[in-house]
């Protein structure tokens, strides 16, 4: 029952509404803007373009914020490299040490060698007689015969201090070598007894090791490292055994691996250590940390792409803004005033049309390279130049439209109303051209992005450290990259293609939507 | 008509004068480091003049000691007398290097244009006659995609597919490794083989524009009253499109194609450079990057003339082809 009455009520309401003149009952007329939007949204391809553009903006502007890495953050990897660590040589030549306050120069040293080779125990040089006493195998003491003072020693076994940075006194070396070469286990020096073990180690009675004696000279190549005695002894044992590998456990219990190379021509050994080196993680394959790998500088590719997109889009916008503003002013003036103003401006447009822009941009880019212009400043110059070269097209478009518009009645009305000329042009004429401007700008941004990318690809546009899709693809000039690292250049190229395509599709869709002749 | 052509020619000369003035001024404002480097190098040779003397001599030789305006007129005079100077980068007369390279670019351009016309015009017409069908959308989107394609990226993709993966073509160069051992016919074939990818690139990047242009113009013609009349009197669709519509579409097409004829000589900068094809684009790219002012000036002047001649041809053709256009 109650249902029925309700129904009746609604019917009455509907009937009432049908004849009412309330605002919501008026025939729905779409505003021109809504009409264009509706027509645009009906064009599926253009909507796809719009979605792609929205994605690109999100990718470039939000992506940079969300990415955990910075634009120029470089990554490292640990690489194992065999670095030269030490050199070893078996000593077969006499070495010399002068006694304190004695002259034992190289001429006398040479004479000593001659004397030892002839097994003489004395020689004369410059009317001074020297004595050469063999104190042990390959160990000689040189004296002045006249006063019987020792001026130095010549030896082949080398005494090395066990403690870093300590120098050994002459007397100590002499006594130690004398004992060692003669196979004695102990000697005394300055009233203290020292002991020599089987391996040539010299120690105090308390067991403190002072030095060791060996026929091998082992020198470290890496600055700032000291080769301990045990290291040297173990190395010598390996060298004598003719091994090509050597594992040493240091005092902290860490094992180090070394490879030993014997160079026959110079009769020495080179000991290489496998060390871990930090290098830039260049051209790393895509992984969980770097979804698109890393580039030639070890930077995260995905992050570079995001920042590159930012640069490409911003440059596209600014360049189009510059050329559109210039184009509106010049085209508006030419179209409104006509006659000689129009003629002059259109001839300027002709001149600009005729300038070969790409070659000119290449020359300017190369010149900026030569002048080492700061990369940031360069980007500004690039935008200014591109913007300044781009206005004639816009000017021609606006001028053509305004030429016909200014003959219409509303312009006569503005004249009658006494509105200033600048207002007439920019408030009444130009807004009527806005659809064409929007379409031209949309398509223009795509074109600008390609130009910028092409220049950056040639290395003459946006420069390192700034990323741009063009200079990211630049790496493909390296044939090895082309063949092996698709992830360096394919994503950047795809993004570039998609972005330009999207701008063009949207521009195309807008052109159709703005077209009043469109039936749909 | 004659008066019109003369007027246009006169205008073209004036435009050329100002274009080159702008370019010359820009060139002069660039650092002259190349001349300095050359003078330094020459002064280092045994028994040579001093650096300053060389500098003065080179500056005089290249007209750098004059002011910009005077220097420009000097350059312009030389240009119209046909003395283009010696290329700094290639160290041969500019015109000689130009002659060596421009014909390769021309043939590449001509072949490209042939395929461009053969592919783009029929596709454009098909798209227009089947407006709002799947075929139309496919062709239109394809055309925009080709226009949006960055040349260098497309070349890299082609190289990856055909040179690296399939191994059908070399990555670079105009001639193969054993070019010298081949007979004349073999050498010709070798060159053709190396030109396949560059020409393919040029075709793909150029057909998009023409395809769209054809479609737009064909659509305009198809909406015209005389087409409705033709249909109304019962002509079959084939005749309507190919006899009545297509012939009228040819007017803008002939104009644009005629206008782009001079462009065949301008060379393909990116394609030639990336494939190392020694055409005029490749040659001038290296000259420009090296700061070779005589060659760059010549090339830019050449391009400006090509543009002007192209516009002139297009305008004249428009008047000639379209009987509705009558120029006083």
Percent of chain A with pLDDT over 90: 10
**Strand, coil or helix: B45:** coil
CB-closest option in B145, B153, B296 to A493: B153
Domain boundaries, chain B: 2-80, 99-322
Ranking A326-340, B23-37, B254-268, B310-324 by mean pLDDT, the lowest is: B23-37
Structure tokens at A73: 């953050």
pTM of the complete model: 0.74
DSSP states along A56-108: HHIIIIIHHHHSSS-TT-B-EEEEEEEEEEEEEEE--S-EEEEPTT----HHH
Spatial separation of the C-alpha atoms in residues B311 and B326, rounded to whole Å:
18
CA A191 to chain CA centroid, Å, is 65
Decide if A117 contacts A94 (C-beta within 8 A): no
Portion 246-305 of B in contact with A at CB < 8 A: 269-270, 273, 284-285, 288-291, 296, 299-300, 303-304
Chain A residue whose CA is closest to B17:
A351
Name the β-bridge partners of A272: A84, A259
Spatial separation of the C-alpha atoms in residues B38 and B30, rounded to whole Å:
16
According to the model, what pLDDT value does residue A1 have? Answer: 43
Name the β-bridge partners of A186: A195
- pLDDT higher at B320 or A267: B320
Nearest to A352, CA basis, from A323, A393, A318? A393
**Strand, coil or helix: B325:** coil
Domain boundaries, chain A: 32-75+290-519, 87-279
Confidence band of B118 (pLDDT split at 50, 70, 90): very high
Decide if A202 contacts A213 (C-beta within 8 A): yes
pLDDT, one tens digit per residue, over B158-207 is 988 898 888 888 888 888 777 778 888 888 888 888 899 999 999 999 99
Confidence band of A67 (pLDDT split at 50, 70, 90): confident
> Would you tell me how many other CB atoms lie within 10 Å of the CB of residue A118?
9
Residue A41's alpha-carbon distances to A1, A44, A446, A509, B142, in angstroms, are 47, 7, 21, 9, 21
According to the model, what pLDDT value does residue A370 have? Answer: 77
Distance from CA of B148 to the nearest CA of A (A): 5
b/e sequence B134-152, b meaning 16+ C-beta within 10 Å: eebeebbbebbbbbbbbbb
Nearest to B96, CA basis, from B87, B109, B107? B87
According to the model, what pLDDT value does residue B119 have? Answer: 93
Spatial separation of the C-alpha atoms in residues A215 and A138, rounded to whole Å:
11
| Torsion sign (Cα): A360, A366, A368, A373 | positive
**Does B224 contact chain A (CB < 8 Å)?**
no
Report whether pLDDT(A520) > 60: no
Report whether pLDDT(B290) > 70: yes
Q: How large is the C-alpha radius of gyration of chain A? A: 45
Mean pLDDT value of segment B56-82: 78
Spatial separation of the C-alpha atoms in residues B197 and B195, rounded to whole Å:
6
Structure tokens at B255: 């104009």
Question: Average pLDDT, whole number, for chain A?
Answer: 81
Spatial separation of the C-alpha atoms in residues B75 and B96, rounded to whole Å:
18
pLDDT, one tens digit per residue, over A417-441 is 888 888 888 888 888 888 888 888 9
Report whether pLDDT(B57) > 90: no
Find chain B residues with C-beta within 8 A of A452's C-beta.
none
- Tokens 């591109």, residue? A386
Distance from CA of B134 to the nearest CA of A (A): 12
Nearest to B313, CA basis, from B63, B89, B5? B5
Percent of chain B with pLDDT over 70: 93
Structure tokens at A215: 């026929």
Task: Give the best residue of A345, A363, A501, A515 to mutate against chain B (max B CB count within 10 A).
Answer: A363
Q: Which CATH architecture has domain B99-322?
A: Orthogonal Bundle (1.10)
pLDDT, one tens digit per residue, over A182-204 is 777 778 777 777 887 777 777 77
Cis ω for the linkage preceding A465 (within 30 of 0) = yes
Nearest to A56, CA basis, from A476, A505, A459? A505
Which residues fall within 8 angstroms of residue A199, CB to CB, at 6 or more apart? A212, A233
pLDDT, one tens digit per residue, over B234-247 is 888 888 888 888 88
- Tokens 């910028």, residue? A452
Which residues fall within 8 angstroms of residue B81, CB to CB, at 6 or more apart? none
**Does B80 contact chain A (CB < 8 Å)?**
no
Mean pLDDT value of segment A18-28: 63
pLDDT, one tens digit per residue, over B32-56 is 566 676 677 777 776 667 777 777 7
Structure tokens at A86: 């030490």
- Write the CATH number of the domain with boundaries A32-75+290-519: 1.10.3720.10
**Strand, coil or helix: A213:** strand
Mean pLDDT value of segment A29-43: 81
Which residues fall within 8 angstroms of residue A57, CB to CB, at 6 or more apart? A313
According to the model, what pLDDT value does residue A464 have? Answer: 78
Residue A429 main-chain phi, psi, to 5 deg: -85, -55
- Tokens 């070396």, residue? A173
């Amino acid at each position: 029952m109650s249902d029925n009455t309700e129904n009746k009520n609604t019917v009455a309401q509907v009937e009432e509404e049908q004849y009412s003149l309330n605002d919501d009952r008026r025939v729905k007329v779409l505003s021109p803007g809504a009409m264009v939007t509706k027509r645009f949204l009906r064009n599926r391809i253009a909507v796809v373009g719009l979605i792609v553009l929205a994605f690109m903006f999100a990718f470039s502007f939000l992506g940079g914020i969300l990415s955990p890495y910075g634009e120029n953050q470089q990554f490292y990897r640990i690489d194992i490299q065999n670095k030269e660590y030490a050199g070893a040589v078996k000593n077969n030549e006499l070495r010399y040490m002068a006694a304190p306050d004695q002259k034992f120069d190289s001429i006398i040293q040479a004479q000593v060698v001659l004397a030892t080779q002839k097994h003489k125990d004395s020689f004369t040089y410059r009317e001074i007689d020297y004595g050469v006493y063999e104190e042990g195998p390959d160990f000689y003491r040189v004296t002045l015969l006249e006063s019987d003072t020792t001026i130095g020693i010549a030896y082949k076994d080398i005494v090395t201090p066990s403690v870093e940075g300590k120098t050994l006194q002459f007397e100590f070396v002499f006594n130690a070598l004398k004992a060692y070469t003669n196979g004695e286990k102990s000697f005394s020096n300055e009233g203290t007894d020292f002991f020599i073990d089987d391996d040539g180690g010299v120690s105090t009675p308390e067991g403190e090791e002072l030095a060791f004696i060996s026929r091998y000279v082992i020198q470290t190549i890496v600055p700032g490292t000291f080769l301990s005695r045990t290291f040297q002894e173990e190395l010598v044992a390996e060298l004598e055994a003719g091994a090509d590998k050597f594992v040493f456990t240091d005092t902290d219990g860490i094992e180090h691996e070394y490879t030993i190379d014997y160079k026959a021509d110079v009769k020495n050994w080179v000991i290489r250590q496998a060390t871990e080196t930090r290098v830039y993680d260049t051209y790393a394959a895509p992984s969980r940390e770097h979804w698109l790998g890393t580039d030639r500088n070890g930077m995260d590719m995905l992050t570079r792409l995001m920042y590159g997109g930012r640069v490409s889009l911003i440059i596209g916008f600014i360049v189009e803004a510059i050329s559109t503003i210039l184009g509106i002013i010049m085209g508006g003036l030419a179209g409104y005033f006509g006659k000689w103003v129009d003629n002059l401006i259109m001839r300027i447009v002709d001149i600009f049309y005729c300038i070969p822009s790409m070659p000119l941009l290449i020359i300017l880019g190369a010149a900026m390279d030569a002048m080492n212009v700061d990369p940031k400043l360069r980007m500004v110059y690039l935008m200014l130049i591109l913007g300044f070269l781009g206005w004639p097209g816009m000017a021609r478009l606006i001028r053509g439209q305004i030429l016909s518009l200014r003959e219409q009645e509303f312009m006569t009305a503005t004249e009658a109303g006494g509105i200033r000329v600048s207002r007439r042009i920019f408030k009444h004429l130009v807004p009527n051209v806005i659809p064409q401007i929007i379409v031209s700008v949309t398509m223009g941004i795509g074109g600008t992005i390609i130009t910028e990318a092409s220049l950056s690809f040639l290395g003459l546009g946006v420069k390192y450290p700034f990323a741009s899709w063009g200079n990211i693809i630049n790496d493909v000039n390296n044939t090895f990259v082309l063949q092996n690292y698709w992830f360096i250049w394919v994503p950047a190229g795809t993004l570039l293609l998609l972005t330009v395509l999207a701008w063009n599709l949207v521009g195309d869709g807008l052109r159709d939507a703005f077209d009043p002749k469109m039936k749909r | 008509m004659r008066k019109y052509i003369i007027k246009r020619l006169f205008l073209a000369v004036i435009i050329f004068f100002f274009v080159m003035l702008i370019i010359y001024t820009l060139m002069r404002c660039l650092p002259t480091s190349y001349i300095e480097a050359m003078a330094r190098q020459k002064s280092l040779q045994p028994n040579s003049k001093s650096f300053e003397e060389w500098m003065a001599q080179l500056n005089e030789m290249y007209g750098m000691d004059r002011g910009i305006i005077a220097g420009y007129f000097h350059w312009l005079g030389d240009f119209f007398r046909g003395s283009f100077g010696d290329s700094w980068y290639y160290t041969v007369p500019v015109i000689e290097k130009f002659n060596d390279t421009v014909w390769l670019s021309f043939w590449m351009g001509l072949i490209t244009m042939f395929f461009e016309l053969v592919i783009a015009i029929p596709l454009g017409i098909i798209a227009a006659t089947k407006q709002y069908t799947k075929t139309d959308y496919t062709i239109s989107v394809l055309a925009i995609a080709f226009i949006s394609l960055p040349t260098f990226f497309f070349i890299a993709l082609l190289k990856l597919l055909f040179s690296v993966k399939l191994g059908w073509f070399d990555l670079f160069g105009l001639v193969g490794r054993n070019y010298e051992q081949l007979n004349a016919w073999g050498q010709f074939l070798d060159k053709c083989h190396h030109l396949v990818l560059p020409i393919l690139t040029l075709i793909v990047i150029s057909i998009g524009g023409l395809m769209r242009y054809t479609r737009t113009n064909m659509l305009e013609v198809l909406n015209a009253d005389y087409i409705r009349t033709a249909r109304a009197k019962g002509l079959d669709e084939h005749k309507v499109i190919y006899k009545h519509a297509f012939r009228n579409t040819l007017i803008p097409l002939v104009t644009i194609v005629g206008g782009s004829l001079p462009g065949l000589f301008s060379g393909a900068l990116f394609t030639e450079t990336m494939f190392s094809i020694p055409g005029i684009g490749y040659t001038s790219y290296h000259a420009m990057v090296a700061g070779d002012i005589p060659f760059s000036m010549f090339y830019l002047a050449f391009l400006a003339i090509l543009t002007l001649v192209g516009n002139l041809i297009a305008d004249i053709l428009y008047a000639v082809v379209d009987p509705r256009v009558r120029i006083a």
